[in-house]
Amino acid sequence: MRGFIAFMLIATVSFGENISKARIEEGRNKLKLYGLAECLIPQYKKISKDNKNDPILNDIYKASASSYWTALGIHRLKEEPYTFKTIYDPYKETEKYVKKAYPKTLAYANSQTGGEIIMLRCFEIYNSKGFNDFIKKQDKYIESSPY
């Protein structure tokens, strides 16, 4: 009987660690996707002729909103306990990061138009070591359980 109890304890602890790792990866991925969408939005707004009816821009807005709302259940905001004033918001910080990184990132030129290729520039940020390191620093705001 003791062997069975010990096995169950070890299995429970191991299972809990796997959920934790999976949750961290899920949180990181969703926050990175949010950052990618937030990198693309201001750039496409600059070149769109009709911000309200542009299908690409609208799709990016939806991707941003979807990433935000699905990640919101994973990352928590740090708030003042009595006033609920936001002290730290991983989503806003991610948005600030990509907006600051964009002008510092290598621009790719479109050989046909001479303009830049926005998406590649945002992909460079998305795949950069700096962005990955930033995203990992947001792990402390991940909730351990969805419930």
Most confident residue range from 46-50, 74-78, 92-96: 92-96
Res. 23 pLDDT band, cuts 50 70 90 = confident
Q: Cβ distance 90 to 77 under 8 Å?
A: yes
Q: What would the mean pLDDT of 56-80 be, rounded to a whole number? A: 78
Contact 28, 106 (CB under 8 A): no
Amino acid at the residue 139: D
Of 88, 94, 44, 46, whose CA–CA distance to 68 is shortest? 94
DSSP conformation class of 86: E
Specify the pTM. 0.76
Tell me the average pLDDT of the chain. Answer: 80
